[in-house]
Structure 1
Amino acid sequence: MRIEIWADVVCPWAYIGKRRLERALASWQGDPVEVVWRPYRIDPSAPTPGEPLAEVLRDPMVDAALRGCAPDLTPGENRERVSRIALAEGLGPRWGAGWRSSSHDAHRLIALAHEAGGTRLQDAVAEEVMRAHFVDALDISLPAVLDEVSRRAGFPASGGLLADGEGDTAVRELVLRGRAAGVATSPTFVVNGAALRGAQPPEVIHDFLVEAARRAPRQLPEEVERFRHAEALLDLGDPLGALTLLGPLLDAHGDDRGTRLLAARAYFHSAQLTRALRILEPLAAETPDDSYVQLLLGRTLQRQGDSPRAAAHLRLAAAMSPGYAD
């Protein structure tokens, strides 16, 4: 059984959740499990190199945002509460991040560790990354810090891979796939299509695993899963993310009508009208009785200011599907 942990390594609850999952698995008597770490970003705008967190926390806007996360506590009281919880989970005795820094390269390192050595190495790297951030208070966006982290975890070859940009595309795609699948909390545990959000107590995680183990594993072909995630991103208002996931499908299955139409929709909604037209005009010629293609082609031409041509396609769409009439 595969347990996916969608989490950001700069999220304290991710580290706490890791310990709680380990405690839940200590009494696990079901099928063998593998734990795979997946990337999630709680602060995509965090910089590289990082900035001292003490300075960030003095910003009134940051203070207000943190108060919104825990309205009954001041930001300082909330950090103290999390520190006590972390200490109870054996994470300490010192606890607390020292830097607001991008976690992108740390996620690349974790993904590369899985490719190189499977789940055991990946888990060791994830552990060392979070220890560096929360216990050692280091800036995990720095290559030198990640190099030391990977050496401690038994992955000394990672430095060259990170320098060469390896893992960048994979991590960006995984973040998009997580969003498409509905991941909105760090950590989120996903097993056989079921999800548990947050660093829940070990007994809650254990009960979740028992229930999720009863579900049939979801095994969709990679191309189908990629298409569905791209479609979900478009529905979520992220056409550029959808196009990112569609790229490999367009390269491998550029003649597939469904893939082309989804790409045209994404181009239209991201205002890439010329690219949308390059797909829609051949589609309209191939299937002139498809009212939706006629509608989308008409609206694309309309946005480009070609009203006469747009009107012809919009009239045709409305004639076939009256609901499309303006």
Structure 2
Amino acid sequence: MRIEIWADVVCAWAYIGKRRLEKALAGPARADAGAEVVWRPFRIDPTAPDQAIPIEEAYRDPLVDAALRQCAPGLSPAENRVRVSRIAADEGLGLEWGAAWRASSHDAHRLLHLAREHGSAALQNEVAEQVMKAHFIDGDDISDRRRLKMVAIRSGFAEGEELLDTDAGDREVRELLLIGKARGITTSPTIVVGDRALAGAQPPEAIADFLAGGDSKREMPEEVQRLRWAESLLGRHDPLGALALLKPLLDDHADDLNVRRIAARGYFHSAQLTRARDLLEQLIIDAPDDSYARLMLGRTLQRLGNESQASLHLKMATAMTPEFA
């Protein structure tokens, strides 16, 4: 069974969730079942500065304070920190607990990705352990590559020391963040098995019950899955993300009508109107009965200020599909 953990390594609940998952996997129901745990990136603080700042200074930022209050309604940030620290201690993470820095986790996610790519899921899991220990227990700035290199060495991933100085893993991590968004991941941690997801650092018993549901998943070609993810991002108002996921399909399957339709929507909703127009004009030549393509072309031409041509295509789209009126 493959168990994916979509989580941010600067999220306290991710570390707590890791311990709870380990307890669930060690239980009698799962002890001999075998499982591959794979860490996937999530960002709870995508606006964290490249240069880390002391956490106490960050807490004085009104925006950070407001975000923390939303995470724990009814509690002040200080009260919530005490609560989380107690829970962490109960999970065996020690009494000395708490991040010292508001730090970007991007390079840490690169290190996790590279550990699996160049090593194994087990190595990646150890890197995740050591990164979160550094952040929450040792008080290290994990956005500092010098610190991350030490983490890599302690984890048995010496190769990661040199890889961190390159852009290795950068594209893959950014793409995985988009895939997570397309799949509806909104909480750190979220455990995913097959097509099922369990959000939050649930108790070990709840995790064990979830895992007992198995890992059934509808298999589909990678190209179809990528197309669906791009559609999902459009539905989540992220046209640039949709285009980023769609790029390999545009490179390799540029003649596919579905690929071109979704790309045209991405260009339109990201205000790349000239690209949308060019793609749609060719699309209605190749598929003259595509009323939706004509509708999109008409709306694109409207936004480009070409009312006369826009009117022609909108009338044709309505005649073909009256619901477009």
TM-score in same-fold range (> 0.5) = yes
Aligned match of 1:153: 155
The residue type equivalent to 1:272 in the other structure is: Q
SS at match of 1:37: strand
In structure 1, what is the equivalent of residue 209 of structure 2?
207
TM-fit CA distance, 1:217: 2.9
- Equivalent residue number for residue 241 of structure 2: 241
Counterpart residue number, 1:253? 253
Specify the code of the residue in structure 1 equivalent to 2:65: D
Whether the 8 Å CA contact 1:49–1:139 is kept in 2: the answer is: no
Instruction: Give the Cα–Cα distance (whole angstroms) in 2 for the partners of residues 241 and 65 of structure 1.
Output: 24
Amino acid of the structure 1 residue aligned with 2:194? N
Residue number in structure 2 paired with 1:312: 312
Q: Shift of residue 70 of structure 1? A: 1.9
Q: Which amino acid aligns with 2:94?
A: G
Q: Is the 8 A contact 1:125 1:150 kept in 2?
A: yes
Alpha-carbon displacement from aligned partner over 1:43-75 (angstroms, at most 9, x marks no partner): 100011211111111234433332232232221
The more displaced of 157-166 and 100-109 is 157-166
Pair 1:81-2:88 in alignment: no
Q: How does 1:187-198 map to 2 (within 5 A)?
A: 187-198=189-200
Please state whether the residue corresponding to 2:38 is helix, strand or coil: strand
Aligned partner letter, 1:254: A
Which amino acid is the alignment partner of residue 166 of structure 1?
A
- Are residues 1:68 and 2:70 paired? yes
- Unmatched 5+ residue regions in structure 1? none
In structure 2, the partner of 1:278 is: 278
Report matched runs for 1:219-234 at 5 Å.
Answer: 219-234=219-234
**For the residues of structure 2 that align with 1:218 and 1:122, how far apart are their CA atoms?**
26
Identity of aligned residues (%): 61
Work out the CA distance in 2 between the residues paired with 1:252 and 1:265. 19
Task: Tell me which residue corresponds to 1:109.
Answer: 111
Q: Aligned letter for 2:267?
A: Y
CA shift for structure 1 position 323: 1.5
Counterpart CA distance in 2 for 1:33 and 1:302 is 54
Report if the CA contact (8 A) 1:112-1:167 is conserved: yes
Return the offset for 1:30: 5.8
Tell me how far apart the structure 2 counterparts of residues 232 and 168 of structure 1 sit (CA, whole Å).
Answer: 23
Aligned residues: 323
| Secondary structure of the corresponding residue to residue 220 of structure 2 | coil
Q: Is the 8 A contact 1:301 1:310 kept in 2?
A: yes
Secondary structure at 2:93 match in 1: coil
Opposite residue 323 of structure 1, the aligned amino acid is E
Using the TM superposition, give the Cα deviation of residue 311 of structure 1 relative to its aligned residue in structure 2, in angstroms.
1.1
Supply the AA of the counterpart residue of 1:314. Answer: L
Q: Distance in 2 between matches of 1:290 and 1:203?
A: 52
AA matched with 1:105: D
SS of 1:3's partner is strand
> Aligned-residue CA RMSD in angstroms?
1.2
